[in-house]
Amino acid sequence: METREKIVIIGGGFAGLQLAKTLNNKNKKVIIIDKVNHHMFQPLFYQVACGRIEPSNISFPFRKIFQRSRNIQYRMTEVQKILPEQNKIITEDAEFTYDKLVIATGCKTNFFGNKKMEHLAFGMKNTQEAIAIRNHVLLTFEKLIIERKRSDDGNWNIVIVGSGPTGVELAGAFSEMKKDILPRDYPHMNFENLNIILVSSTTTPLSMMSEESQKMSEQYLKELGVNFMSGEMVVDYDGDKVYLKSGKEIPANNVIWAAGVTGNVIQGLKEDQVVRNRYVVDRFNKVMGTENIFAIGDVAYMETPKYPQGHPQVANVAINQGKNTADNFLKKSEKEWTEYEYIDQGSMATIGKHRAVVDLPKLKFQGLLAWYFWMFLHLMLILSVRNKLAIFFNWMWSYLNKDSSLRLIILPNKTNNTEQ
């Protein structure tokens, strides 16, 4: 009897999940290892942070996804080290051997070595961080309503660092929350004092998009009342004030860091196999200097004629690298493998209701049509029908009523003791 090849996938993000789905019910033994038990649809994390949708609506348990699979298993544990000479990985709970190893660990928020910022500011790269932002912002207003006075200016500033899609989408959502939702929840508070501040190191928001999209997104932010601080760089944050390179200071108790990402690299491979916290791979996503270790998605660094500095760390790259790698694994020999070539399908961002920008390869448009296009595409990318319906209902309810009923503050118990 022929022994099935054993493929271990570390990480179940866009890249790892697409790889596993393409290998589903094929003649391969596949093990997915992830420290959380679900796949997360990261583009909508900002709506969790603003109380627009529930985390469960954009989270999909691996065991549910592969419930009927004949060849895919899932293990919930965190990988600590790779032993390439032994074809083995070490996790906090067990050891796993492999014939092929695929690293799809994605990326995390890049605080550029500032440990104080990392400890005090909020990132938004997983469900827990999105919920933490929602909790912290809402607790700020609960605190203010009890104090009944502006004793701390930092409570009235929400600072978002970074003006990429995540930053502008957060700024737009919080601005609408300030205008339409918070005055209803706290009728005795004056939210004219609340400032949404977007700090950008570039002169315009969405600097990686077209000039038209940059101009329109800046206009949309101004219409929503966002304070856009261009050409400013954050150098420090002490929990009370944000310090800028220009010398300016912003009092703030709510600081969200959306200014960059860095790869989740695992200990075990050589230093020259990693560049800027990404594994150096060839055109087949094989890690340089190895025979059976691959890296895909945000954690892979692949130089091509079109992308000499590596591919952008976006979902489309991850999904297509996962699919291409799986297709190669299913071929009879490596001689038949296909090199990965990224086809840029465009980018988009939404900045509040009826405001969005879309850059497609041959078409660019903004405004209402772009907003509908953004909603439709994101809804189609959600995995299950149930979750599609849940998100659609929440969006329709919010659209018609300018409200949401999902502003729950969920905090861990301070003690494990139960009152009798």
Read off the pLDDT of residues 81-127 as tens digits, 9 standing for 90 and up.
999 999 999 999 999 999 999 999 999 999 988 888 999 999 998 88
Question: What domain range includes position 156?
Answer: 115-257
Strand order in the sheet with 364-366: 347-350, 356-359, 364-366
Contact predicate 256/111, CB 8 Å: no
Which two three-digit tokens encode residue 249? 């200071």
Do residue 123 and residue 221 come from a single domain? Answer: yes
Do residue 127 and residue 252 come from a single domain? Answer: yes
Specify the pLDDT at position 207.
95
Do residue 239 and residue 125 come from a single domain? Answer: yes
- 22, containing H or E segment: helix 14-23
Do residue 144 and residue 221 come from a single domain? Answer: yes
Q: Is the pLDDT at 420 greater than 60, yes or no?
A: no
Question: Which of 211, 235, 257 is the endpoint of a domain?
Answer: 257
Do residue 228 and residue 271 come from a single domain? Answer: no
Full-model pTM:
0.93
pLDDT tens digits for range 335-375:
999 999 999 999 999 999 999 999 999 999 999 999 999 99
- CATH number, position 49: 3.50.50.60
Contact predicate 257/105, CB 8 Å: no
Question: Which of 336, 370, 395 is the endpoint of a domain?
Answer: 336
210, part of any domain? yes
Q: How far apart are CA 199 and CA 187, in angstroms?
A: 29
* Residue/partner pairs of 182-185 with CB below 8 Å, 24 or more apart: 182/141, 184/403, 185/141, 185/407
13, part of any domain? yes
In sequence order, the β-bridge partners of residue 141 are none
Helix (H, G, I), strand (E, B) or coil at 256: strand
Tell me which amino acid residue 368 is: L
Contact predicate 8/31, CB 8 Å: yes
Q: How far apart are CA 188 and CA 141, in angstroms?
A: 11
Do residue 120 and residue 27 come from a single domain? Answer: no
Q: Is the pLDDT at 79 greater than 50, yes or no?
A: yes
Helix (H, G, I), strand (E, B) or coil at 336: helix
> What does DSSP assign to residue 1?
-
395, part of any domain? no
Question: Which of 257, 272, 292 is the endpoint of a domain?
Answer: 257
Q: How confident is the model at residue 419 (pLDDT cuts 50, 70, 90)?
A: very low
Question: Average of pLDDT values for 272-301?
Answer: 97
Do residue 276 and residue 227 come from a single domain? Answer: no
Do residue 238 and residue 309 come from a single domain? Answer: no
Helix (H, G, I), strand (E, B) or coil at 298: helix
Domain count, the chain: 2
399, part of any domain? no
398, part of any domain? no
